[in-house]
Structure 1
Amino acid sequence: MPLKFRPAEPRDAEQAVPLIYSSGPAAFDYVFRRAGLSAEGFLHAAFIDGGGMFGYPRHWVGELGGKVVAAGTGYSGELNLRNTLTASRQILLCYGPVSAVPVMLNGLRLEKLIQPPPKKTFYLAHLGVAEGMRGEGIGTRLVEHLLKLGRSAGFRIAALDVSAKNPQAQALYERLGFSVVEERISTLPGIANHRYMTRPL
């Protein structure tokens, strides 16, 4: 059966959220894992809520034989402020006003490493492929699909971040025309340096 990409829907949460989480588990855990709520628990709630960078309307899924095997998002840096405000609301709803404070502070610390994209940039994120199907070209097709969307929307530059501990992903992005522009040094526990990569559209 052919791989088909379509906009994500709330019903995709059970299959799509683990793929989104797999795109950066250390970073997600650093910000969102707290007593009583896992990072995946927060991502699940935010995905269904529908707002901001974690919401289902921002994501695409790759479906094969009725199963979601890939997920990812691409969005404009012009949405940075809106995404921040929406994420703040979602964090308050999930954690409450007291526990939300350290979550938000850790989010700000992480933003020094994985920075919000420039306004005119089409930023790719949350790129995940089902574990048993990696290495079969699905990740390539996911990125190509998102790049096509960015190109159709009139963007001239695409960008993404990749962990220095994920050379396979970096090699894939390099094959697709991305180049490392900057390596950002991590001082956060359990989180590797990250490389900011760009390519023309």
Structure 2
Amino acid sequence: MSLTFRPARADDVDAAVPLIYSSGPAAFNYVFGADRVQDFLRQAFVGTQGQFSHRQHWVGEQHGRVVVAGTLISADANLRNMLAATWQILRFYGLWSSVGVIRRGLQMEHLIKPPKKGLNYLAHLGVQTGLTGQGIGSQLIDYFLKLGCARGLPKAALDVSAENPLAQALYERLGFRVVVQRVSTLAGVPDHIYMERS
């Protein structure tokens, strides 16, 4: 099943946000609140700044329909992404509620750490429900690995939930190796496995 990849656009929001959310619902729910997270992601996606923006994402289309999404993050964008996320959180949640969201986000960074220098970090990888196991995720990752090499970042990394062994097995087939499993102390958030590919 061949896909066409392209940079995401703001008008992909309806298709892309559920895919982004599906990449780590427990982590997203913990930080942003299960009842508001997808609304927050929608607002951030149509914006132009930060790691949740459409400008940071790629989508894959099959017969003109978006079926996969993801992003690449490098260490040189860490500070810029943090500042953008802080502003987006303040704008969406308001001053008082933002304090809790930002605190939970910082707690999450002990489990899913910001990208290290010299790495092409893959994130928000989501495949349309019902289409997993058909090679779609593999095509997206292969596309991202090529983009990373073109940017001078041939070494790649990602995090995966310890409760998602199928995804971990896919990443291992694509050359990723487990570096460390980080134990979660956060309510409702599973352990996460950090993987790298030379």
Give TM-score, length-normalised by structure 2.
0.98
The Cα of 1:2 is off from its aligned counterpart by: 3.9
Alpha-carbon displacement from aligned partner over 1:139-166 (angstroms, at most 9, x marks no partner) = 0001100111001100131100000000
Native 8 Å contact 1:5 1:63 kept in 2: yes
**Where does structure 2 lack aligned partners over 5 or more consecutive residues?**
none
Paired amino acid for 1:13? V
CA distance in 1, matches of 2:53, 2:119: 20
Letter matched to residue 53 of structure 1: Q
AA of the residue aligned to 2:121: Y
Query: Alpha-carbon deviation of 1:50?
Result: 2.0
Task: Detail structure 1 runs of 4+ shifted over 6 Å in the superposition.
Answer: none
Give 1:118's aligned residue.
116
Tell whether 2:5 aligns with 1:5: yes
For each residue in 1:73-119, what CA deviation from the matched residue of structure 2 results, as whole angstroms up to 9, or x when unmatched? 01211111111000000000100111100000000000000000112
Residue 40 of structure 1: aligned partner: 38
Instruction: State the partner residue of 1:86.
Output: 84
Please provide the CA RMSD for this pair: 1.1
Q: For 1:184 and 1:164, how far apart are their aligned partners in 2?
A: 9
* Identity value in percent: 56
SS at structure 1 position matched to 2:81: helix
Quick check: 2:145–2:154 contact (8 Å CA) kept in 1? no
Instruction: List runs of 5+ in structure 1 lacking aligned partners.
Output: none
Match of 1:59 in 2: 57
Aligned residues: 198
